[in-house]
Chain A
Amino acid sequence: MNTIPAPTIEYGTLAPLLLVFGAAVLGVLVEAFAPRYLRRSIHLPLTLLGLAGAFVLVVVQTVTSGVPKSAVAMGAVAVDGPSLFIWGVILVLSFVSVLLINDEGHFVASAAAVPGSRDEEEAEASGNAHTEVYPLVLFAVGGMMLFPASNDLLVMFVALEVMSLPLYLLCGLARRRRLLSQEAALKYFLLGAFSSAFFLYGIAMTYGYAGSVELAGISKALATGGVLDPLLLAGLALLGVGLLFKIGAAPFQAWKPDVYQGAPTPITALMASGVLVAAVGAVLRVFWVALGNMDWDWRPVMWGVAALTMLVGAILAITQTDIKRMLAYSSVAHAGFLLVGVLATYDAAEGNEKSLGAILFYLLVYGFTTVGAFAVVTMVRDAGGEAGHLSRWAGLGKRSPLLAGIFAFFLLAFAGIPLTSGFFGKYAVFTAALGSGAEAGDSLGAWMTGIVVVGVIASAIAAFFYVRVIVLMFFSEPAADGPAVVAPSVSLKVVIGMALAVTLVVGVFPQPILDIAGQAASGLFIR
Chain B
Amino acid sequence: MSLWLPILIAVPVLGAVLVALLPKGSDTLAKWLTLGVSLVVMVLTLVMAFQFDTGAKAERFQFVFEKDWIPSFGVHFGLGVDGIALVLIALSVVLTPIVIAASWHDADAPHAKYSVKTYFALLLVLEAMMIGVFAATDIFLFYVFFEAMLIPMYFMIGSYGGAQRSYAAIKFLLYSLFGGLLMLVAVIGLYVAAGKNTFLFPELIGAIQDPTTQKWLFAGFFIAFAIKAPLVPFHTWLPDAAAQAPAGAAVLLVGVLDKVGTFGMLRFCLELFPEASKWATPLVIVLSVVGIIYGAIVAIGQTDMKRLIAYTSISHFGFIAMGVFAMSQTAQSGATLYMVNHGFATGMLFLAAGFLIARRGSPYIADYGGVQKVAPLLAGAFFIAGLAGLSLPGLSSFVSEFMVMIGTYSSSAFGSGALGVAAVISAVAVILAAVYILWMVQRVLHGPATESVAGMKDLNKRELWVVAPLMALIIGFGFFPKPLLDIINPAVNHTLQSVKVDNPAVAEKGAGQ
Contacts of A398 in B (CB 8 A): 113-114
Bound complex: CA of A414 vs CA of B363, how far in Å?
Answer: 38
Do B188 and A431 touch across chains, with their CB atoms under 8 A apart?
yes
Query: Does A418 touch B at the CB level, under 8 Å?
Result: yes
Which among A2-10, A182-190, A455-463 touches the partner chain?
A455-463
* Interface residue? B55 (CB, 8 A): no
* Binary CB contact string for chain A from 393 to 420 against chain B (1 if under 8 A, 0 otherwise): 0000110010000000000100101110
Q: CB distance A434 to B170 under 8 Å?
A: no
Set of chain A residues within 8 Å of B165, measured between Cβ atoms: 475
Distance, CA A515 to CA B158, complexed state (A): 39
In the complex, A91→B343 CA distance in Å? 54
Q: Does A511 contact B (CB under 8 A)?
A: yes
Q: Is A471 an interface residue (CB 8 A)?
A: yes
Asked whether B192 is an interface residue with its Cβ less than 8 Å from the other chain, the reply is: yes
Given A427-B73, A511-B69: A456 and B181 within 8 A (CB)? yes
Q: Contact at A460–B193, with CB atoms within 8 Å? A: no
B148 on the A face (CB < 8 A):
yes
Within B166-202, the residues touching A (CB, 8 Å) are: 166, 169-170, 173-174, 177-178, 181-182, 184-185, 188-189, 191-193
| A438 partner, pick from B150, B184, B192, beta carbons under 8 A | B192
CB interface residues, A 277-314, toward B, < 8 Å: none
Q: Are A418 and B192 in contact (CB-based, < 8 A)?
A: no
Tell whether A434 pairs with B188 under 8 Å between CB atoms, given A417-B148, A471-B166: yes
Contact with B along A140-164 (1 / 0, CB 8 A): 0000000000000000000000000
Q: Is the CB of A449 within 8 A of B177?
A: no
> Does A467 sit at the interface, judged by CB under 8 A?
yes
A468 within 8 A of B: yes
- Say whether, besides A418-B144, A511-B70, A467 and B170 are in contact (CB < 8 Å): yes
Bound CA–CA A449/B190 (angstroms): 12
A466 to chain B, nearest CB (A): 10
| CB-defined contacts of A424 to chain B, threshold 8 Å | 70
Most buried by A among B113, B184, B189: B184
Evaluate contact between B181 and A459: CB separation under 8 angstroms.
Answer: yes
Chain B contacts for A515, CB-based, 8 A: 72
Question: Which residues 54-87 of A have a CB within 8 angstroms of B?
Answer: none
Whether B159 is near chain A, meaning CB under 8 Å from some CB there, is yes
Give chain A residues whose Cβ lies under 8 Å from the Cβ of B155: 474
Candidates B143, B147, B184, B192; contact of A435 at CB < 8 Å: B192
Contact B185 A456 (CB under 8 A): yes
Q: Which residues of A contact B178 (CB under 8 A)?
A: 460
Residue of A nearest to B216 (CB): A449
B contact residues around A510 at 8 Å (CB) = 70, 72
For window 450-480 of chain A, which residues contact chain B by CB distance below 8 Å? 452-453, 456-457, 459-460, 463-464, 467-468, 471, 474-476
In the bound assembly, the distance between CA atoms of A449 and B213 in angstroms comes to 12
Which residues on the B side are within 8 Å of A412 (C-beta)? 151
Roughly how many angstroms separate A386 CA and B148 CA in the complex, as a whole number? 32
A64 to B267 CA separation, bound complex (whole angstroms): 50
Is B483 close to A, CB under 8 A? no
B159 CB, min distance to chain A CBs, angstroms: 6
Min CB gap A412→B, angstroms: 7
| B510, CB-defined interface residue at 8 Å | no
The answer, yes or no, to whether B512 is at the interface (CB within 8 Å) is no
Asked if A518 is an interface residue, CB under 8 A from chain B, the answer is yes
- The residue of chain B having its C-beta at the shortest distance from the C-beta of A358 within the complex is B72
Residues B185 and A431 in contact, CB atoms below 8 Å apart:
no
A348-381 interface mask toward B, CB cutoff 8 Å, 1 = contact, 0 = none?
Answer: 0000000001000000000000000000000000
Residue from A438, A475, A509 in contact with B159 in the complex, judged by beta carbons closer than 8 Å: A475
> Chain B contacts of A417 at CB under 8 A?
147-148, 150-151, 177
- The answer for the CA separation of A424 and B170 in the assembled complex, in Å, is 23
- Quote the shortest CB–CB distance from A407 to chain B (angstroms): 14
In the complex with contacts A456-B185, A514-B70, A518-B72, A471-B170 CB distance below 8 A:
yes
CB contacts (< 8 Å) of A474 on chain B: these are: 114, 155, 158-159
Q: A417-B151, A456-B181, A467-B174 are in contact. Are A475 and B166 (CB under 8 A)?
A: yes
Query: CB of A199 within 8 A of chain B?
Result: no
Closest Cβ–Cβ distance, residue A15 to chain B (whole Å)? 31
Q: How far is the CA of A471 from the CA of B154 in the complex (A)?
A: 10
Q: Does A430 contact B (CB under 8 A)?
A: yes
Judging by beta carbons under 8 Å apart, are A468 and B170 in contact?
yes
Is B71 in contact with chain A by the CB < 8 A criterion? yes
Enumerate chain A residues within 8 angstroms of B70, measured Cβ to Cβ: 424, 510-511, 514
Bound form: Cα–Cα A471–B173 in Å? 11
Contacts of A468 in B (CB 8 A): 170
Q: Are A430 and B143 in contact (CB under 8 A)?
A: no
Whole-angstrom distance from the CB of B221 to the nearest CB of chain A?
14
Contact partners of B158 in chain A: CB under 8 A: 471, 474-475
Tell me which residues from 427 to 456 in chain A have a Cβ below 8 Å from any Cβ of chain B.
427-428, 430-431, 434-435, 438, 449, 452-453, 456
Q: Which residues of A contact B113 (CB under 8 A)?
A: 398, 475
| B144–A419 touching, CB < 8 Å | yes
Closest to B191 in A: A431
- B193 / chain A contacts, CB cutoff of 8 Å: 438
Nearest-neighbor residue (CB-CB) of A435 within chain B: B192
Contacts of B166 in A (CB 8 A): 471, 475-476
Q: Which of B73, B148, B169 sits near A471, CB closer than 8 Å? A: B169
B173, A430: Cβ atoms closer than 8 Å: no
CA distance A475 to B145 in the complex (A): 24
Closest CB-CB distance, A401 to chain B, in whole Å? Answer: 8
Q: Is the beta-carbon distance between A427 and B177 smaller than 8 angstroms?
A: no
Partner of A430, one of B71, B170, B182, B185: B185
A418 engages B143 (CB within 8 Å)? yes
Q: State in angstroms the CA–CA spacing of A457 and B151 once bound together.
A: 20
Considering only CB atoms, which chain A residue lies closest to B178 in the complex? A460
Could you tell me the distance in whole angstroms from the C-beta of B188 to the nearest C-beta in chain A?
5
Whole-angstrom CA separation of A435 from B70 in the bound complex: 18
A163 CB, min distance to chain B CBs, angstroms:
31
| Nearest B residue to A419, CB-CB | B148
Chain B residue nearest to A412 in the complex (CB): B151
Query: Smallest CB–CB gap between A343 and chain B, Å?
Result: 15
Q: In the assembled complex, which residues on chain B have CB atoms less than 8 Å from the CB atom of A475? A: 113, 158-159, 165-166, 169
Bound state CA distance, A459 and B182, in angstroms? Answer: 10
Q: For the complex, give the distance between the alpha carbons of A398 and B71 in Å.
A: 41
User: Are A467 and B173 CB-contacts (below 8 A) given A427-B188, A460-B178, A475-B166?
Assistant: yes
> Please, how many angstroms separate the alpha-carbon atoms of A289 and B72 in the complex?
25
B137 to chain A, nearest CB (A): 17
- Chain A residue with the shortest CB-CB distance to B150: A417
Q: How far, in angstroms, from A417 to B150 measured CA to CA in the complex?
A: 10
Distance between Cα atoms of A418 and B181 in the complex (Å) = 11
| Chain B residues, CB < 8 A from A456 | 181-182, 184-185
CB contacts (< 8 Å) of B188 on chain A: these are: 427, 430-431, 434, 452
1/0 contact string of B264-278 vs chain A (CB within 8 Å)? 000000000000000
A357 to B73, CA, bound (A): 12
Q: Would you call B185 and A460 a contact (CB within 8 A)?
A: no
Give A350 Cβ to nearest chain B Cβ, in Å: 14
Report Cα–Cα, A428/B148, bound state, in Å.
Answer: 18
Are A464 and B169 interface neighbours, CB within 8 A?
no
CB distance from A136 to the nearest CB of B (A): 39
- Can you add 17 more A-B contacts, CB < 8 Å, to A434-B189, A452-B185? A401-B114, A412-B151, A417-B177, A431-B73, A434-B188, A453-B185, A456-B185, A460-B181, A463-B177, A467-B174, A471-B166, A471-B170, A474-B155, A474-B159, A475-B113, A475-B158, A511-B69
Name B's A-contacting residues (CB within 8 A): 69-73, 113-114, 143-145, 147-148, 150-151, 155, 158-159, 165-166, 169-170, 173-174, 177-178, 181-182, 184-185, 188-189, 191-193
Q: Can you identify 23 A-B contacts, CB atoms within 8 angstroms?
A: A397-B114, A398-B113, A401-B114, A417-B150, A418-B143, A418-B144, A419-B148, A423-B144, A427-B184, A438-B193, A449-B185, A453-B185, A459-B181, A460-B181, A463-B174, A471-B169, A474-B114, A474-B159, A475-B169, A510-B70, A511-B69, A514-B70, A514-B73
Which 5 residue pairs across A and B have the least CB separation, nearest first?
A418-B144, A475-B166, A514-B72, A456-B181, A418-B147
